[in-house]
């Protein structure tokens, strides 16, 4: 009886424990992907993410074909689709790699129980995080809410396992299995086609992901700790969408980085880079324990924050990159065009929206969710709440990023502003939509109310 490998956020053939388990079982394999836009609580992916998914599934499908199998595509609520496919093909086993969102875990647990009751062998694996979120506990047996002790705690755990080799052959079933045509899912934008910048910037899929990891480690890692904050970039890995979609596993990134660690400045860079991977772990740790992180303040005293009535025109001005503040506009346009934004600029643009415009972080989080190719159900809300001051290990409330100071420090040669908002380098640069000093004061007054209330 065939095995089903249910692909989710792990669109790869290397270091894929679910696929490995199916290969070990030595029966024909059905590789399945389910587009689930129906299950309660599963967050619908945003526009840029849909574009990425289309490319990554295309690539995975081609690679499975080369190895003797096909990718079966189905749409609907996973809790119904999966048992239906099991029955159709008479599968004896189902394997998947774990996901960590609240609604997703419930669906998976329900499926495990149901399929096992029907006599199907079901197993799930750790593949997309280095540390299962429930295994990292404080001395008083609680989850962590602060990064540094979390990072120290994971260092004491067993080192991440080495990655598993690539699946060279994936034997398929001889009978044909019904599959949707990927184009019928309409993941790509049509009218208007806004994805030109994404096509120019990215090539989704595992081969390009591996190539980028190699290039980063060979050419850029040494510069990471010195230049990672420079807005114009070049020194960071650009691996975030690869990790988001699981074209690479964190185990691959972890071990290959250690192999390139070297000494001196290089080793410092490698350490700094790996600690960013631990931030990703921490964001998922927090999200696992607070699954409603995208909608609910992690610090509940923030529920009393005196947000003024939403000024939609201000929100749109920010979204369109027309705020009159050079770095903010450059960042928002980079986001729209490429589907990513430099990490520090993400902080500056988020701080501007929340603190200078006093717009609830959830509106900004939703816009990023729709525009980012790396939009991640943990990292995005976690970092938005970090900037807002409502989150775990959050920025102190009195920290209002000054976009001009940030620009002087991290874009001193105007490379970034020239690329994305060149009008600021002319004789008549645009005027800021609000006074930065006055709005900063207004934000601090609003924050003081929460602090005293909380």
To the query of whether residue 361 is one of the catalytic residues in this protein, the response is yes
Which residue of the set 106, 166, 194, 343 is catalytic? 343
Whichever of 3 and 351 has its CB closer to ligand FAD, that residue is 351
Q: What SS3 class is residue 289? A: helix
To the query of whether residue 420 is one of the catalytic residues in this protein, the response is no
To the nearest 10°, report the CA torsion of 212, 213, 219, 222: 140
1 marked ligand binding residue = no
414 marked ligand binding residue = no
Cα dihedral sign, 202-385-406-218 = negative
Q: What SS3 class is residue 407? A: helix
Which residue of the set 245, 279, 298, 386 is catalytic? 279
Could you tell me which residues come within 8 angstroms of residue 420 by beta carbon, excluding any fewer than 6 positions away? 321, 329, 330, 331, 333, 334, 337
Whichever of 33 and 367 has its CB closer to ligand FAD, that residue is 367
To the query of whether residue 276 is one of the catalytic residues in this protein, the response is yes
- Distance between first and last Cα of the chain: 58
Q: Please name the residue ranges forming H helices in 97-195.
A: 102-117, 147-156
376 marked ligand binding residue = yes
Q: Given candidates 21, 372, 373, 434, which one binds ligand FAD under the rule CB under 6 A?
A: 372
Of the ranges 70-78, 187-195, 377-385, 405-413, which one interacts with ligand FAD (CB under 6 A)? 377-385
Whichever of 89 and 354 has its CB closer to ligand FAD, that residue is 354
237 marked ligand binding residue = yes
193-200 contacts: CB < 8 A, separation 24 or more?
194/47, 194/336, 195/48, 195/51, 197/336, 197/337, 197/338, 197/339, 198/48, 198/51, 198/52, 198/338, 198/339, 198/373, 200/338
To the query of whether residue 307 is one of the catalytic residues in this protein, the response is yes
Of the ranges 66-74, 382-390, 392-400, 424-432, which one interacts with ligand FAD (CB under 6 A)? 382-390
CA 352 to chain centre: 22
Please list the residues that pair with 419 across neighbouring strands. none
CB 364 within 8 A of CB 350: yes
Which residue of the set 384, 386, 402, 420 is catalytic? 384
Q: Is 98 in the site for ligand FAD (CB under 6 A)?
A: no
Of the ranges 82-90, 293-301, 319-327, 341-349, which one interacts with ligand FAD (CB under 6 A)? 341-349
Per the listing, tokens 């956020």 go with 9
Q: Is 350 in the site for ligand FAD (CB under 6 A)?
A: yes
Q: Given candidates 3, 124, 334, 379, which one binds ligand FAD under the rule CB under 6 A?
A: 379
Please list the residues that pair with 96 across neighbouring strands. 6, 124
Whichever of 374 and 411 has its CB closer to ligand FAD, that residue is 374
Please list the residues that pair with 7 across neighbouring strands. 33
238 marked ligand binding residue = yes
**59, two tokens:** 């690539």
Residues 384-413: x where in contact with ligand FAD by CB under 6 A, - otherwise, as a string: x--x--------------------------
To the query of whether residue 380 is one of the catalytic residues in this protein, the response is no
Cis peptide before 450 (omega within 30 of 0): no
Which residue of the set 361, 367, 369, 420 is catalytic? 361
Could you tell me which residues come within 8 angstroms of residue 261 by beta carbon, excluding any fewer than 6 positions away? 267, 270
Whichever of 85 and 286 has its CB closer to ligand FAD, that residue is 286
Measured CA to CA, the distance from residue 83 to residue 92 in angstroms comes to 12
To the query of whether residue 97 is one of the catalytic residues in this protein, the response is no
Touching ligand FAD, residues 228-287 (CB under 6 A): 228, 236-240, 243-244, 276-277, 279-280, 283
Active site residues: 276, 279, 307, 343, 361, 384
Residues at the annotated binding site?
A: 224, 236-240, 273, 374-376
Residues of the shown chain interacting with ligand FAD in the complex, contacts defined by CB under 6 A: 228, 236-240, 243-244, 276-277, 279-280, 283, 343, 346-347, 350, 368, 372, 374-376, 379-380, 383-384, 387
Binding residues for FAD: 224, 236-240, 273, 374-376
């Amino acid at each position: 009886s065939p095995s089903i490998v249910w692909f989710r956020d792990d669109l790869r053939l290397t270091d894929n424990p679910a696929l490995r388990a199916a290969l070990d079982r030595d029966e024909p394999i059905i590789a399945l992907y389910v587009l689930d836009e129906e299950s309660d609580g599963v967050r619908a992916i945003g526009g840029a993410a849909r574009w990425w998914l289309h490319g990554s599934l295309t690539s995975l499908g081609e690679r499975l074909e080369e190895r003797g199998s096909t990718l079966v595509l189905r749409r609907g609520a996973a809790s119904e689709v999966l048992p239906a496919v099991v029955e159709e093909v008479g599968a004896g086993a189902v394997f998947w790699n774990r996901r960590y969102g609240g609604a997703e875990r419930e669906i998976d647990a329900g499926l495990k129980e149901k399929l096992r009751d029907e006599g199907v062998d079901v197993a799930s694996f750790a593949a997309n995080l280095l540390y299962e979120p429930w295994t990292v506990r404080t001395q008083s047996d609680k989850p962590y809410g602060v990064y540094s002790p979390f990072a120290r705690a994971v260092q004491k755990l067993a080192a991440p396992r080495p990655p598993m080799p690539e699946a060279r052959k994936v034997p398929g079933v001889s009978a044909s299995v019904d599959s949707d045509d990927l184009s019928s899912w309409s993941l790509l934008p049509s009218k208007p086609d806004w994805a030109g910048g994404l096509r120019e910037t990215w090539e989704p899929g595992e081969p390009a992901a591996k190539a980028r990891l190699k290039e980063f480690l060979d050419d850029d890692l040494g510069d990471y700790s010195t230049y990672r904050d420079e807005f114009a970039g070049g020194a960071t890995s650009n691996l975030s969408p690869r990790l988001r979609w699981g074209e690479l596993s964190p185990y691959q990134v972890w071990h290959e980085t250690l192999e390139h660690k070297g000494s001196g400045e290089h080793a410092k860079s490698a350490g700094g880079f790996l600690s960013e991977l631990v931030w990703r772990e921490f964001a998922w740790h927090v999200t696992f324990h607070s699954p409603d992180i995208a909608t609910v303040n992690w610090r509940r005293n923030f529920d009393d924050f005196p947000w003024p009535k939403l000024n939609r025109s201000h929100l749109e001005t920010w979204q369109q990159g027309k705020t009159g503040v050079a770095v903010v506009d450059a960042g928002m346009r980079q986001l729209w065009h490429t589907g990513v934004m430099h990490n520090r600029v993400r902080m500056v643009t988020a701080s501007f929206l929340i603190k200078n415009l006093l717009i609830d972080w959830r509106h900004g989080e939703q816009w990023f969710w729709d525009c980012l190719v790396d939009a991640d159900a943990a990292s995005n809300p976690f970092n938005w709440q970090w900037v807002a001051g409502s989150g775990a290990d959050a920025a102190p409330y009195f920290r209002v990023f000054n976009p001009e100071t940030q620009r002087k420090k991290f874009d001193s040669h105007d490379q970034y502003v020239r690329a994305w908002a060149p009008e600021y380098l002319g004789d008549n640069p645009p005027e800021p939509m609000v006074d930065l000093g006055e709005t900063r004061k207004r934000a601090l007054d609003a924050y003081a109310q929460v602090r005293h209330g909380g």
